[in-house]
Amino acid sequence: MISIQKLEQILTAHAKWLKGDKDGVRAKFDHADLSGADLKGRDLRSISFREADLRNADLREANLKDCNLSDADLRGANLDQALLAEADMSHADLRGAFLEGAHLDSADIWRSNLYGAVISPAKLHRVLGCVDPQKS
């Protein structure tokens, strides 16, 4: 598991990268154990969380736009009001996750497991892998 200090250090460098600062470094948490992490309201744009363990993480109101969450374990994670526009969530495990009011515009949820997830009233405009029940 990544220590809180290390996590803060990585996210500070990522924030600099987002601003175009030459001292900034794009964050990458592929295969990382971030289970139970408190990332509420954080700007996590464009971070790769491929195959990361984010079980029970608090991602409420986080900006996850353009993130790679493919094959991530998000069981029980709280993503209420999170911005997930253009995020790659393909093959992610979202069983029991909370996505109330999440913005999933143009997100890829292809082959994601959403069993028991609380989704309504998420915004699902142009979501890849999502079927509109009113049109079927």
Residue 100: pLDDT band (50, 70, 90) is very high
What is the pLDDT, as a whole number, of residue 118? 87
Residue 14 lies in a domain: no
Residue 13 lies in a domain: no
Residue 74 lies in a domain: yes
Range of 40's domain? 26-131
Checking if the pLDDT of 120 tops 90, the result is no
* pLDDT, tens only, 69-80: 999 999 999 999
Q: Give the C-alpha separation, 128 to 126, whole Å.
A: 6
The two tokens of residue 19 are 């601003």
Q: Give the C-alpha separation, 47 to 66, whole Å.
A: 8
Q: Give the C-alpha separation, 106 to 31, whole Å.
A: 24
Residue 83 lies in a domain: yes
Residue 12 lies in a domain: no
Q: Give the C-alpha separation, 39 to 105, whole Å.
A: 21
The two tokens of residue 67 are 């993130």
Residue 128: pLDDT band (50, 70, 90) is low
What is the pLDDT, as a whole number, of residue 136? 39
Residue 105 lies in a domain: yes
CATH of the domain at 116: 2.160.20.80
* pLDDT, tens only, 28-52: 999 999 999 999 999 999 999 999 9
Contact in structure between 79 and 101 (CB atoms under 8 Å): no
Q: Give the C-alpha separation, 105 to 1, whole Å.
A: 31
Residue 63 bridge partners (DSSP) = 43, 83
Number of domains in the chain: 1
Residue 10 lies in a domain: no
Residue 131: pLDDT band (50, 70, 90) is very low
The two tokens of residue 22 are 């030459």
